Amino acid sequence: MIGIIDYGLGNLTSVLGAVTKVGFDGVISSDPGELADCEKLILPGVGAFPEGMANLNDRGLVDVLDDQVRQRRVPILGICLGFQLLGNNSTEFGETDGLGWIDAPVTVLTPDDAALRVPHVGWNEVLQASDCVLFDGIDDGALFYFVHTYKMELPSGGVAVGTCDYGGRFTAAVQNGNVFGTQFHPEKSQQCGLALLRNFLEKT
């Protein structure tokens, strides 16, 4: 079973629909016991970083997820805000600590070109920075759908496996062992997004 983590933020039904479309059974859950039994996890999210972390803590999910990911090595995919929560901290509305599974901060997106609007909404090329199972069978430079105001800085240790240029380069995808994340929305990225989800669910 694929656990889609419900912490009160995110387009959960869209993610579940995409998981189902690529042939897997998923469950939307905020129950720590139910999530502890899942073989893979997806942490979606749309909204603000501080609220996301507060909701994870309030629902008692941080400890169970940390055990699943760090001790049991269960694969997890963070999407959009869920991706940002994988980082060390964020400057959104002050400074808030994240889950700390990716050694990088999250900061506001500030394109070099003042004509580029923030939030960054729409389709952009993702350049593959290194080999990663997420991109198996997907062309380098394929288009994915983004909606975000904050970005993860390029992490240390070479765990950025995909980047995007929007008036400056930022992290579009990461892999750190069993921890995966995408700033873009695979569930909204048509065939390339479904292929990436299938790769995560089949090959990790």
Strand spans (E) along the chain = 2-5, 26-29, 40-43, 76-79, 89-90, 96-97, 105-108, 120-125, 127-128, 143-148, 150-152, 160-165, 169-176, 179-182
Containing domain of residue 10, as a range? 2-203
50-62 mean pLDDT? 96
172-191 mean pLDDT? 98
Local structure of residue 187 (DSSP, 8 states)? G
Is 51 one of the annotated active-site residues of the chain? no
Q: What is the pLDDT of residue 11?
A: 85
Q: Which of 120, 148, 164, 187 is catalytic?
A: 187
76-83 mean pLDDT? 98
Give the amino acid at 23.
G
Q: Which of 38, 80, 132, 164 is catalytic?
A: 80
- How many domains does one find in the chain? 1
Q: What is the pLDDT of residue 156?
A: 75
Helical residues (DSSP H) of the chain, grouped into ranges: 12-21, 32-36, 49-58, 62-66, 81-84, 190-203
Which of the four pLDDT bands, split at 50, 70 and 90, describes residue 155? Answer: confident
Residue 164 confidence (pLDDT) above 90: yes
46-62 mean pLDDT? 96
Q: Which two tokens stand for residue 7?
A: 């912490």
Residue 127 confidence (pLDDT) above 90: yes
Is 80 one of the annotated active-site residues of the chain? yes
Question: What percent of the chain stands above pLDDT 90?
Answer: 95
Is 120 one of the annotated active-site residues of the chain? no
Q: Which of 92, 132, 185, 192 is catalytic?
A: 185
| Residue 104 · residue 87 · CB < 8 Å | yes
CA distance 99 to 56: 10
Angstrom distances, CA of residue 176 to CA of 79, 94, 99, 133, 162: 15, 26, 13, 12, 13
Which of the four pLDDT bands, split at 50, 70 and 90, describes residue 189? Answer: very high
Per-residue model confidence as pLDDT tens digits over 101-126: 999 999 999 999 989 999 999 999 99
Q: Supply the mean pLDDT for the chain.
A: 96
Q: What is the pLDDT of residue 60?
A: 94
Residue 34 confidence (pLDDT) above 90: yes
Q: Residue 41: exposed, middle, or buried by beta-carbon count in 10 A (0-12, 13-18, 19+)? A: buried
CA distance 154 to 73: 23
CA distance 49 to 3: 21
Q: What is the pLDDT of residue 152?
A: 95
CATH value at residue 17 = 3.40.50.880
Q: What is the pLDDT of residue 114?
A: 85
- C-alpha torsion sign, points 189, 195, 197, 200: negative
Residue 58 confidence (pLDDT) above 90: yes
